A and B are shown apart, each in its own frame.
Chain A
């Protein structure tokens, strides 16, 4: 079955880079996603990557995908206090199947 794992907490200093890691189990996953959830709000899609890509960069965000190890990471450059939130990794195992979310990583940005 599908399972997505993440470390639950991460603390960084403002201005440093944050790296949030995720592992997934379904090798048929064709799309992998990162969502951000701020307190009291719904989830916001940050970025997604196709399984035939190794890297995707979007402004301060860099996504790295290692298909062999089934490992996905999200790097946030120059982390700001506004980046404090819970970050969810999600996989979509195959076309038409629905998202499986990880437990979320709570990112705390210290001044």
Chain B
């Protein structure tokens, strides 16, 4: 079974530029998550989709971050404009459903973003 795919793996941009990340979840997984992991910290949830609808985006900085999952499969996360503090690893995860304890989250390898 193929895992969660993410691209690109690495990205370096200057502040005020825009950037987009792509995620392809495991086939059949209804729930998709985007996390931000700053160096030395645990992952922080940015947004959670159930199929193509948003379940939770309470920690997404909506003035600069946006995400979509139009057909309920692939997802993109965009930052525009980027700030220095956005430097982090952006992790995508998916699960069959989001009920606690029953459905494991499978994580992709992440995209390491460096903003200079």
Contact = CB atoms under 8 A, between A and B. Distances in A.
Q: Do A and B bind each other?
A: yes
B56 A45 contact: no
B104 A45 contact: yes
A101 B42 CA distance: 5
Contact of A95 (B45, B91, B100): B100
B42 to A, nearest CB: 3
Interface in B26-76: 33, 40-45, 48, 56
B108 interface: yes
A48 B101 contact: yes
A42 B109 contact: yes
Give the contact-size bracket for chain A: 20 to 34
Contacts of A102: 42
Give the contact-size bracket for chain B: 20 to 34
Nearest to B38: A103
Most buried by A among B4, B43, B99, B106: B43
Given A31-B100, A98-B45, A103-B40, A40 B109 contact: yes
A17 to B, nearest CB: 24
A92 to B, nearest CB: 5
A103 B42 contact: yes
B22 to A, nearest CB: 15
Contact of A42 (B48, B100, B110): B110
